Amino acid sequence: MDIKGSVALVTGANRGIGAEWVRQLRERGAAKIYAGARDPLSVSPADGVVPIALNVTDKAQVEAAASQAADVNIIINNAAVSYRQPLIGADLDKIHDEFETNVFGPVYVAEAFAPVLEANGGGAIVNALSAVSWFSFPGMAATALPSPRHGISPTHSALNSPIRAPSWSACTPARWPPLWAITSLSTRSIPIRS
């Protein structure tokens, strides 16, 4: 999949690694980048970058984004939340939010955009995973459940299943499992000693 000349969409593009995806896609010659954000005004303006309202937990908004960004051929499922939660005694609303954002969000995005990629002659869906797909630790015990974003690892396999919907045959799913980058998500999840 060539980045040069491509049209990409990044979820959670306003900060952290999402903003870096946007920067690097521009640097590598993407023709247009839709920068999805819950607040599009929080996206740093740049040539070729089109802010787009995109809360990945809001199915209607995801579908509206798929109509608006009908020329896309690369999707980066990057948006996520991570709460520092024990598994026992956790705030269940927060665990639900992790699953809704980190697991179902990318599924809503893949479902809405698969026909778009197909109409554009094929493309790629890149799912940001995490090293905590493979282990859990105190303070991130919710990842044991079987781990949102994290849990998208098995979700990713399901998206890549040979029995996926016909329109998905145009998509090349790819996984991107970063280990560690200092962003608000990682420093919230794991205490950093100075």
Question: Residues in the site for ligand NAP, rule: CB under 6 A?
Answer: 11-12, 14-18, 38-39, 54-57, 78-81, 101, 105, 128, 130, 149, 178, 180-181, 183-186
Q: Where are the alpha helices (DSSP H) in 31-183?
A: 59-68, 92-98, 105-119, 152-159
CB of 142 to ligand NAP, least distance (A): 12
Closer to ligand NAP by Cβ: residue 57 or 172: 57
- Side-chain-facing half-sphere of 48: CA atoms under 13 Å: 18
161 token code pair = 């299943």
CB of 162 to ligand NAP, least distance (A): 26
Q: Are 50 and 35 in contact (CB under 8 A)?
A: yes
Closer to ligand NAP by Cβ: residue 51 or 105: 105
Closer to ligand NAP by Cβ: residue 59 or 164: 59
Closer to ligand NAP by Cβ: residue 17 or 30: 17
Q: Is 44 left (phi over 0), alpha (psi -120 to 50) or beta?
A: beta
